[in-house]
Amino acid sequence: MKKKGFIFDLDGVIVDTAKYHFLAWKKLANSIGIDFSEEQNEQLKGVSRKASLEKILAWGNVTLTEEEFAELMSKKNEDYLGYINEMNEEEILPDVPKILNFILGKNQGVALGSASKNAKSILEKVNLLNKFEAIVDGNEVSKAKPDPEVFEIAAREIGMEPHNCIVFEDSLAGIQAANAIDMCSIGIGDATVLKDADFVFKDFTEISTDFINQLIND
Ligand code: B16
Ligand code: MG
């Protein structure tokens, strides 16, 4: 049987942590007099913590010292971790375990490729840590999506060539990152937003095991 590498993004693909990022960023933005909407939160999907705070400050026209910036970053994360600590398996998005277990059952490579520095804690909370052969997250990556670095490292760690990898992603930047190194890109979410993806599904309930078999044998 052929072997492919399947690389999963975390937030928006395996779990919906965007709602917790929203609560933590909103509290923080409001505390320094900046409004923060759900639409703005959408623009932070897949964006690193540092770049997210830079964007929020730019929206509110606020400049900070380096110390203040660092303090706000850790405040936001502390607040966010409060939500993460309450997570459990019930927060895994529908049919993710089904597809993940199917892929593992076919002895395929499986890796995580996320911008989050909290990826390991989140996977641990939802009891999926042992499913991944490699976990590449915000602690190992210096260039953010759409740069393909995160997926490049993930492919290397599972011993696969990029053109034999398939990426599941909910952000356009992530889709562009996958396309940039000739990986097959599968968008999870809205087809109009994820317009550059090779395939788009609303969520994993729309993905069949036949489709996964096709990807493996392509
Ligand atoms: P952290 P992903 C991303 O996760 C989130 O989509 C994004 O909103 C967040 O700012 C980023 O992780 C960094 O997260 O503060 O936990 O390091 O979609 O790349 O899995
Ligand atoms: Mg994501």
Mean pLDDT score, 65-94:
98
Q: What is the pLDDT of residues 156-213, one digit of tens each?
A: 999 999 999 999 999 999 999 999 999 999 999 999 999 999 999 999 999 999 999 9
| Domain at 180, CATH number | 3.40.50.1000
Q: Hey, what amino acid is at 162?
A: P
Give the pair of three-digit tokens for residue 24: 């933590």
**Structural domain count of the chain:** 2
Q: How far apart are the CA of 16 and the centre of ligand 2, in A?
A: 9
Q: What is the pLDDT of residues 105-148, one digit of tens each?
A: 999 999 999 999 999 999 999 999 999 999 999 999 999 999 99
Shared-domain flag, residues 22 and 12: no
Give residue for tokens 């562009």.
Answer: 176
Shared-domain flag, residues 182 and 210: yes
Shared-domain flag, residues 108 and 194: yes
**Residue finishing a domain among 36, 54, 84:** 84
Let me know if 218 is a catalytic residue: no
Percentage of the chain surpassing pLDDT 70? Answer: 100
Shared-domain flag, residues 25 and 63: yes
Which residues does ligand 1 sit against, CB inside 6 Å? 9-12, 21, 44-49, 52, 77, 114-118, 138
**Residue finishing a domain among 84, 105, 134:** 84
Please report the beta strands in the chain, taking only residues with DSSP state E, as ranges in sequence order: 5-8, 109-113, 134-136, 165-169, 184-188, 199-201
> Which of the ligands is closest to the CA of residue 75?
1
Residue nearest to atom 16 of ligand 1 (CA): 116
User: In angstroms, rounded to a whole number, what is the distance separating the alpha carbons of residues 195 and 172?
Assistant: 8
Shared-domain flag, residues 73 and 133: no
Shared-domain flag, residues 172 and 143: yes
pLDDT of 1 > 90? The answer is no
Q: How confident is the model at residue 56 (pLDDT cuts 50, 70, 90)?
A: very high
Are residues 109 and 6 in contact, defined by beta-carbon separation less than 8 angstroms? yes
| Domain at 26, CATH number | 1.10.150.240
Closest residue by Cα to residue 171 from 147, 141, 153: 147
Let me know if 9 is a catalytic residue: yes
Whole-number average pLDDT of the chain = 97
Are residues 145 and 177 in contact, defined by beta-carbon separation less than 8 angstroms? yes
User: In angstroms, rounded to a whole number, what is the distance separating the alpha carbons of residues 179 and 118?
Assistant: 25
Shared-domain flag, residues 64 and 111: no
Shared-domain flag, residues 150 and 209: yes
Q: Which domain holds residue 188?
A: 5-16+89-217
Burial class (CB in 10 A: 0-12, 13-18, 19+), 181: middle
Mean pLDDT score, 34-52:
94
Shared-domain flag, residues 105 and 128: yes
Are residues 31 and 71 in contact, defined by beta-carbon separation less than 8 angstroms? no
Residue nearest to atom 8 of ligand 1 (CA): 45
Residue nearest to atom 13 of ligand 1 (CA): 116
Q: Hey, what amino acid is at 121?
A: S
User: In angstroms, rounded to a whole number, what is the distance separating the alpha carbons of residues 168 and 149?
Assistant: 15
